[in-house]
Amino acid sequence: FYLKRIYNVFLFIVECHVVKGKFFNINKLFLASEANFIAISLMVDKQASTMQLPTSYEWYREQIAGHHPSVIKNGEHQIGLIKKFGSETLLKPVQEGVRGVCETAFYNSLKHQNDENDVLTEFALFVPKFHGLKTLRVGGKEMEFVVMEDLTYHYKYPCIMDIKMGRVTYDPSATKAKKLSEAVKYPEQEVLGFRLTGYRMRFGCHENDVRVRDKQWGRSRNMENIVEAFCEFLSGRLMEKSFVARQTLEQLCKLRKWFNSQRVYHFYASSILLVYEACMERPPNAFVKLIDFSHVFPANGAVDHNYLFGLNNVINIVEKCWDSFDSASYRIALNSGIN
């Protein structure tokens, strides 16, 4: 109980700073509280790890956003992504109510789509492979899970950024209260067309050199520091960060091409994952995938401008990172007498 109180008070303080728009105080708050917060987080994670999982299952360590077992809501640990030891798949809890129905129906529609439907066939390349549903007993209760591809299975030290897309993240059926809560959550989203929900990355082949940024950090990003945030994430391979940025940019442009042409779906509160390998002993293999499909609506023949606005901005930002990395590489080469 004591740990939960400390943890929630810390989050409350951070949330108050964000809601009031005092972005300049966020970093000071994190720096002042970093040691205590890390200690508290480790204790809370340890407490969450005692939640009974089925034999041979574990919590997915690379999870960035969404429900997480270290978060306590209404007196209970949330259930996050879990993984069977050695498996190439992940299990994501099916959300309650219409959201869970919508997401599972969407995955099924992609799995069973006609191969002649070029639009859906092309889009399926940007989505983790769906392997059906599975029921497990977790925390003393039966739960249904979506079984999907583990995108990082073949990566030694994956770097992952989660980007919640759209100028608005509430869907057309949202209540006035929901619209208001989303609007005040991150006012910059109207300008950027997305928000960063966090990232987890390593630097080169240093296993213990891990940097984690959470949603509170993401909400402190604005027009002045958003490019820096992306460049920071894309720098896990110091001597190859330009190549990582270029690979990422190529994938994003392919995704934009699809969104410009498709008139099938509109996506709300869906995320883009940027992923690449940090270990220098392996190729970077940067890729882009879409996740979270509990708010997908028919497009009715219209372009998804809400999503495209943010996607265009993400592309422009990654392009700026690539340009800055290229300039830096040129200067290094010049100073070394290579050019």
Specify the higher pLDDT residue, 135 or 11.
135
Residue 210 has pLDDT above 70, yes or no: yes
Tokens in use for 65?
Answer: 């956003």
Q: Which whole number is the average pLDDT over 159-168?
A: 96
Whole-angstrom distance, CA of residue 20 vs CA of residue 12: 12
Whole-angstrom distance, CA of residue 235 vs CA of residue 283: 14
Q: List, for residues 244-265, the tens digit of each pLDDT value.
A: 999 999 999 999 999 999 999 9
Tokens in use for 132?
Answer: 């059906």
Q: Which of 76-90, 212-226, 242-256 comes out lowest in average pLDDT?
A: 76-90
Question: Please, which pLDDT band fits residue 118 given cuts at 50, 70 and 90?
Answer: confident
Whole-angstrom distance, CA of residue 131 vs CA of residue 61: 21
Cβ 229 vs Cβ 249: under 8 Å: no
**Which domains occur in the chain, in start order?**
1-50 (no CATH), 55-150 (3.30.200), 158-335 (3.30.470.160)
Whole-angstrom distance, CA of residue 212 vs CA of residue 202: 9
Residue 85 has pLDDT above 80, yes or no: yes
Question: Please, which pLDDT band fits residue 66 given cuts at 50, 70 and 90?
Answer: low
Q: List, for residues 40-59, the tens digit of each pLDDT value.
A: 344 444 444 456 787 888 88
- DSSP assignment, residue 239? G
